[in-house]
Amino acid sequence: MIEDKIKTRNSTYLRLVVISTFIIGILALLAWIIDMAYPRAQSDRWKSEYPRLYTNAGYQKLEQTAPHKANFSEDELTSKITNQFGIRDDILNLILNTFPESETQSTIAAIKMAQYFQAQIGVNDPDKVNFLANKAAAALSCVNLPMLKEHQFIKDFDMLLRNTPARLAEEERIEHLLNGRIISNDYGINTSSHTERCNHLLGEPL
């Protein structure tokens, strides 16, 4: 009698293990499917909501300068990136909601600046970080906004860079590498024309 109860209990336990394993497997498969489908769905959203990103040659050049992924936690420092420019989706949303469609160059300049900022993540070479900071400063100078609106944009952008403890720590690490260094606009070309400087910078690879 006791042996029958033990057998029944063991049989029930095994069934529960098999069922639990099956459910976990199904959930893992669904998570994988959702994760694979999410970037495509988001990409379709960019095309639907912001068709200008796909019809202007200037934006297509930005696709070619998307920063390479570094060895850091994507979830902690960059979250989901589903756009073709390789920058955080929330930062791209900020840019596209700040600049009107008519301000193509300013939008491109802001995206370029974001690419340079993102390219700093995980970099330990102070000279490289300084180089990227100079490029980001130059890109910002190519943004054309009224003073108060530009100030608000810079404030909002900086808040997004630091909106989690991990991102705040990374920005402080980068600032430490830049400590004592001069940040100056680096357009990659020597000319007195601001228009020529910006045109050169915005078509330049990272």
Q: What is the pLDDT of residue 34?
A: 47
Pull the structure tokens for residue 99.
Answer: 């600049």
Identify whether residues 34 and 123 lie together within a single domain: no
Identify whether residues 68 and 132 lie together within a single domain: yes
Identify whether residues 102 and 172 lie together within a single domain: yes
Averaged over 161-167, what is the pLDDT? 93
Identify whether residues 165 and 101 lie together within a single domain: yes
| C-beta separation of 111 from 63 below 8 A | no
Q: Nearest Cα to 108, choosing from 13, 198, 2, 3?
A: 198
Q: What span, in angstroms and rounded, lies between the C-alpha atoms of 84 and 87?
A: 8
Q: Evaluate if residue 157 carries a pLDDT over 80.
A: yes
Identify whether residues 110 and 185 lie together within a single domain: yes
Identify whether residues 41 and 107 lie together within a single domain: no
Q: What is the pLDDT of residue 60?
A: 80
Residue with tokens 């300068």: 65
- The 10s digit of each residue's pLDDT in 39-63 is 445 557 888 888 888 888 778 878 8
DSSP per-residue string spanning the chain: -HHHHHHHHHHHHHHHHHHHHHHHHHHHHHHHHHHHHHHHHHHHHHHHH-GGGGT-HHHHHHHHTPPPP-SS-HHHHT----STT-S-HHHHHHHHHHS-TT-HHHHHHHHHHHHHHHHTTT---HHHHHHHHHHHHHHHHT----HHHHHHHHHHHHHHHTSSHHHHHHHHHHHHHHTTPPP----SS--S-HHHHHHHHHTS--
Averaged over 136-152, what is the pLDDT? 94
- Whole-number mean pLDDT of the chain? 83
Identify whether residues 64 and 25 lie together within a single domain: no
Q: What span, in angstroms and rounded, lies between the C-alpha atoms of 56 and 128?
A: 30
Q: What is the pLDDT of residue 16?
A: 63
Identify whether residues 149 and 175 lie together within a single domain: yes
- The 10s digit of each residue's pLDDT in 130-142 is 999 999 999 999 9
- The 10s digit of each residue's pLDDT in 19-35 is 767 777 676 665 555 45
Identify whether residues 128 and 196 lie together within a single domain: yes
Q: Which domain holds residue 24?
A: 1-49
Using only C-alpha atoms, the chain has a radius of gyration, in whole angstroms, of 24
Identify whether residues 114 and 43 lie together within a single domain: no
Q: Evaluate if residue 102 carries a pLDDT over 80.
A: yes
Q: What span, in angstroms and rounded, lies between the C-alpha atoms of 149 and 147?
A: 6
Q: Evaluate if residue 82 carries a pLDDT over 50.
A: yes
Higher pLDDT, 114 or 12: 114
**38 — pLDDT class (breaks 50, 70, 90):** very low
Identify whether residues 198 and 154 lie together within a single domain: yes
Averaged over 1-12, what is the pLDDT? 58
Averaged over 146-162, what is the pLDDT? 95
Identify whether residues 21 and 122 lie together within a single domain: no
Amino acid (one-letter) located at 62: L
Count of domains for the chain: 2
Q: Which of 10, 30, 49 is the last residue of a domain?
A: 49
- The 10s digit of each residue's pLDDT in 173-196 is 999 999 999 999 999 999 999 999
